[in-house]
Amino acid sequence: MARAPKNPTTLNMRPVWADVSLPALVHNFESIRSYVNPRNEKRRTPRQVLCIVKGNAYGHGGPEVTKALEKVGSDWFGVTCTEEGIALRKAGVRKPILILTSFVPGEEKRLLEHNLTAVIHRCEQLSQLETAAARRGKKKVSFHLKIDSGMNRLGIVPSRVDCFARQLAKSRHLQLGGVMTHFASSEAFSDTVAGRQTREQEERFFGALERLRALGIDPGIIHLANSGAIVTRPETWADMVRPGVILYGYHPGYDPVEKRAEFEKRLALKPVMSLRTRIISLRDVPAGAGVGYGSSFVPQQASRIAVLAAGYGDGIHRSLSNRGKVLIRGVLAPIVGIVSMDVTMIDVSAVPGVEIGDTATIYGTDGQFSHPANLVARSLGTVTSDLLCAVSARVPRFYVK
């Protein structure tokens, strides 16, 4: 694992990097685990946590993050595909790994070889998995079933549960290990379609579960809750929860906004990733001169413009052009002009003592200062996960212990 150098000025490379705080990650995980296992609730076994580490662990580095979470007791991991699962197995991860978007025909063999657990979201996938499982012989292969409870994306609709049960009865080498659904709008509480949707999804999901049980099928581990539901809807916690963005330190954008403070107070989170770069050039630009591609920024007065060594090729969203800010010497300096692939310009006229080599935090924390990624995302009309996942492969991650 790469370690953050004590003094980042000794970095002998293009100065763009992400500090990933493992203590913050562990803090978030442990807070979530305690939160979903309240002392006053009587359960035979603690409610499990399946950490969502797909998308390179939301940009933080899949293997490193997963190993750190495995060490502190994460029960399960969720990735999107076989390749992501295999990468974790190769890194030495032993805990169960759920393949959330399932397999495509032909992938079953590798999935089983690496002891990955498939999600079945179409009835036909059962026979494909059964064939692969029969070839492997011996032990029954466990899988999870996804119910489409109203997101209209992936999953078996409740009316197809009987068909699923018939197919399962023919699958002698398979065993149902869990049943899940996914919420479309768990952070929404307004009087809108989205605000009413989660309750409706819960009802449909629990109805489908009842039907499975009536057909004599043991559903195994029941899991529904993503970040929004974990924080706000205890009735969805079931046997296991699936945190994504809250693991990485950010709450989803609760709706309506008046609810935000109340929900955010329930679970204190610490941002895990700070994306940083440095000033590689400084210039004084006279009033009226254009800055960057297309001269989309023309200062009204003489301005001190700094060039940062990172652009949209690294994960600085291009839509931050002329509207974002970066944290430098405790000041939020505006991004000016178009964000280029490799560099970004900022106006540092109001930053005292600014120098070439100064570190700029695109989002994250810098000592006592912070520039949260969720606020940056909100200013762009996107979600925090979008920004975090955008940090590209050419940005080295340093795991701060």
Ligand X SMILES: Cc1ncc(COP(=O)(O)O)c(C=O)c1O
**Residue 173 or 378 having the CB closest to ligand X:** 378
CA dist 159 and 225 (Å) reads 22
**Residue 128 or 186 having the CB closest to ligand X:** 186
Three-class HEC string of 244-291: CHHHHCCCCCCECHHHHHHHHHHCCCCCCEEEEEEEEEEEEECCCCCE
Q: Identify the CA nearest to 200 among candidates 219, 214, 185.
A: 185
Q: Which of 140, 170, 293, 401 is the catalytic position? A: 293
User: Is 35 annotated in the active site?
Assistant: no
DSSP secondary structure string, 283-321? EEE-TT--BSGGG-B--SS-EEEEEES--TTTT--GGGT
Do 19 and 398 meet the contact criterion of CB atoms below 8 Å apart? yes
Helix residue ranges, H only, 179-251: 193-214, 227-232
Cβ at position 58, least distance to ligand X in Å: 7
**Residue 242 or 325 having the CB closest to ligand X:** 242
Cβ at position 242, least distance to ligand X in Å: 4
Cβ at position 122, least distance to ligand X in Å: 16
Q: Which of 35, 54, 58, 146 is the catalytic position? A: 54
CA dist 384 and 50 (Å) reads 20
Cis peptide bond N-terminal to 38, omega within 30? no
Cβ at position 307, least distance to ligand X in Å: 34
φ, ψ of residue 301 in degrees (nearest 5) = -135, 165
Q: Identify the CA nearest to 61 among candidates 35, 84, 89.
A: 84
From residue 382, give the alpha-carbon distance in Å to each of 33, 251, 265, 319, 378. Answer: 28, 13, 22, 10, 6
Cβ at position 108, least distance to ligand X in Å: 20
**Residue 16 or 116 having the CB closest to ligand X:** 116
User: Is 293 annotated in the active site?
Assistant: yes
**Residue 78 or 299 having the CB closest to ligand X:** 78
Cβ at position 248, least distance to ligand X in Å: 8
Please provide the distance, in angstroms rounded to a whole number, between the alpha carbons at the two ends of the chain: 10
φ, ψ of residue 365 in degrees (nearest 5) = -120, 155
Structure tokens at 362: 């695109």
**Residue 49 or 279 having the CB closest to ligand X:** 49
Structure tokens at 337: 């002009």
Cβ at position 177, least distance to ligand X in Å: 15
Residues lying near ligand X in the complex (CB under 6 A) are found at 52, 100, 182, 226-227, 242-245, 252, 385
Residue nearest to ligand X (CB): 244
**Residue 22 or 245 having the CB closest to ligand X:** 245
**Catalytic residue positions, numbered:** 54, 293
